[in-house]
């Protein structure tokens, strides 16, 4: 299987490890992510003003690029997924908007592309059973907290491919890898997202609530699919100990990293050095 792929700016830079691990794992599973030959930033956040057409131009260009490659687009970054998918929904439902946007981008997007999250593709196209069958190094004994954040769940009618209040796709994947996902209440709570650039206190508190909840269940790692969540949750821990005495940091990983590890792939370029909380002890414990 080959599928057009949009990595997005962040997976191209700070979250390169997410991207590398993802592509390698997909390849190992017989699914090739074919990066769009040309792509642009999607805008990172879906414009919430009804008449803000301008900010829909960037994601529409991405959809246009995808249209040239086929009728499905795989997106790895959850924020990009959310923006492109919602834009697509709007263009499909609103002929006027589609016409306007086509005029803006001076091209003709026809609305035919299906926007999919990579986890969704793993579940529905590759299949978690196939993933399980391909596991070389099961993550046996690893207690993980699957963390979904907001972008693949809300608004449910527009973007969710999972139960929006009790998502489990990621838990199921991790189970297929041999790990033991914990039950916890914060898997869909917001990490604070862009509040981080302005309101440090608030984001620190939001991250703390999520991380401490995961730790109360005994999770040894938090595993996510969102690059902004990963960054916020990971980096906030730098001085969490100062705010909350006795706080013990917990690694925050991308699911693709653990997938690559379990598939027994070369994990040299999985971006481990980018993590704020040291992941080496965890990796060593996995052997």
Partner 1 sequence: MRVKLSAMRVRNELVRRIEELSGQDLLACYQCGKCSAGCPAAFAMDLLPSQVIRLVQLGLVEEVLNAKTPWFCAACQTCYARCPKGVDLSRIMEAIREIALQERGDYLVIEEIPAEELAEFPQLAFISGFRKYTA
Q: Does 122 bind partner 1 (CB under 8 A)?
A: no
Window contacting partner 1 (CB under 8 A); options: 45-53, 62-70, 95-103, 176-184: 45-53
Of the candidate residues 201, 266, 273, 284, the single one contacting partner 1 (CB under 8 A): 201
Of residues 52-71, those binding partner 1 (CB under 8 A): 55
Q: Of 30 and 156, which has the nearer Cβ to partner 1?
A: 156
Nearest distance from C-beta of residue 32 to partner 1, angstroms: 25
What token pair was written down for 286? 């996995």
Nearest distance from C-beta of residue 163 to partner 1, angstroms: 12
Of the candidate residues 206, 219, 233, 279, the single one contacting partner 1 (CB under 8 A): 206
Q: Quick one: which of 78, 88, 161, 75 has its CA closest to 118? A: 75
> For residues 255 and 128, is the Cβ–Cβ distance under 8 A?
no
CB count in 10 Å sphere of residue 205: 15
Q: Beta strands 72-75 and 180-181: pairing type? A: unpaired
Window contacting partner 1 (CB under 8 A); options: 72-80, 88-96, 131-139, 166-174: 72-80
Over the window 8 to 27, marking each residue x when it contacts partner 1 by CB under 8 A and - when it does not, the resulting string is xxx--xxx------------
How buried is 272 (Cβ within 10 angstroms: 0-12 exposed, 13-18 middle, 19+ buried)? middle
Q: Does 48 bind partner 1 (CB under 8 A)?
A: yes
Number of amino acids touching partner 1 (CB under 8 A): 44
User: Burial letters for 83-122: b for 16+ Cβ neighbours within 10 Å, e otherwise?
Assistant: bbbbbbbbbeeeeebbebbbeebeeebebebebbbbbbbb
Nearest distance from C-beta of residue 202 to partner 1, angstroms: 4
Of the candidate residues 199, 239, 278, 285, the single one contacting partner 1 (CB under 8 A): 199
How many residues are recorded in the chain? Answer: 287
Window contacting partner 1 (CB under 8 A); options: 49-57, 109-117, 174-182, 277-285: 49-57
Strand (E) or helix (H) holding 2:
strand 2-6
> For residues 17 and 270, is the Cβ–Cβ distance under 8 A?
yes
Q: Of 118 and 174, which has the nearer Cβ to partner 1?
A: 118
**What number of CA atoms fall less than 13 Å from residue 211's CA on the CB side?**
30
Angle among Cα 169, 266, 284 to the nearest 5 degrees reads 80
Q: Does 240 bind partner 1 (CB under 8 A)?
A: no
Q: Does 47 bind partner 1 (CB under 8 A)?
A: yes
Window contacting partner 1 (CB under 8 A); options: 20-28, 66-74, 126-134, 151-159: 151-159
Starting at the edge strand found earlier in the chain, the sheet holding 180-181 runs 180-181, 143-147, 221-224, 252-254
Binding site for partner 1 (CB under 8 A): 8-10, 13-15, 41, 43-45, 47-51, 55, 77, 79-80, 150, 153-156, 164, 189-190, 192-199, 201-202, 205-206, 209, 227-228, 231, 235
């Amino acid at each position: 299987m080959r599928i057009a792929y949009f990595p997005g700016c962040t997976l191209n830079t700070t979250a390169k490890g997410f991207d590398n691990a993802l592509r390698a794992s997909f390849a190992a599973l017989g699914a090739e992510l074919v990066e769009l030959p040309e792509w642009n930033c999607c805008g990172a956040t879906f414009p919430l003003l009804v008449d803000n057409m301008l900010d829909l131009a960037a994601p529409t260009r991405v959809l246009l690029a995808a249209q040239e490659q086929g009728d499905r687009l795989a997106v790895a970054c959850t924020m990009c997924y959310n923006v492109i998918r919602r834009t697509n929904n709007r263009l499909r439902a609103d002929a006027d908007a589609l016409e306007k946007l086509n005029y803006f981008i001076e091209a003709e997007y026809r609305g035919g592309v299906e926007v999919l999250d990579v986890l969704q593709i793993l579940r529905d196209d590759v299949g978690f059973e196939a993933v399980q069958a391909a596991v070389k190094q099961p993550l046996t004994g690893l207690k993980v907290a699957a963390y979904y954040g907001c972008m693949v769940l809300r608004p449910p009618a527009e973007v969710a491919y999972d139960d929006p209040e009790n998502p489990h796709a990621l838990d199921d994947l991790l189970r297929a890898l041999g790990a033991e996902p914990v039950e916890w209440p914060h898997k869909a709570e917001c990490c604070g997202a862009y509040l981080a650039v302005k309101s440090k206190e608030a984001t620190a508190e939001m991250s703390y609530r999520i991380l401490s909840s995961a730790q109360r269940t005994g999770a040894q790692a938090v595993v996510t699919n969102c690059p902004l969540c990963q960054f916020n949750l990971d980096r906030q821990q730098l001085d969490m100990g100062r705010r909350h005495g006795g706080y013990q940091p917990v690694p925050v990983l991308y699911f693709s990293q653990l997938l690559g590890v379990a598939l027994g792939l070369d994990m040299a370029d999985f971006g481990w050095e980018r993590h704020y909380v040291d992941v080496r002890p965890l990796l060593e414990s996995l052997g």
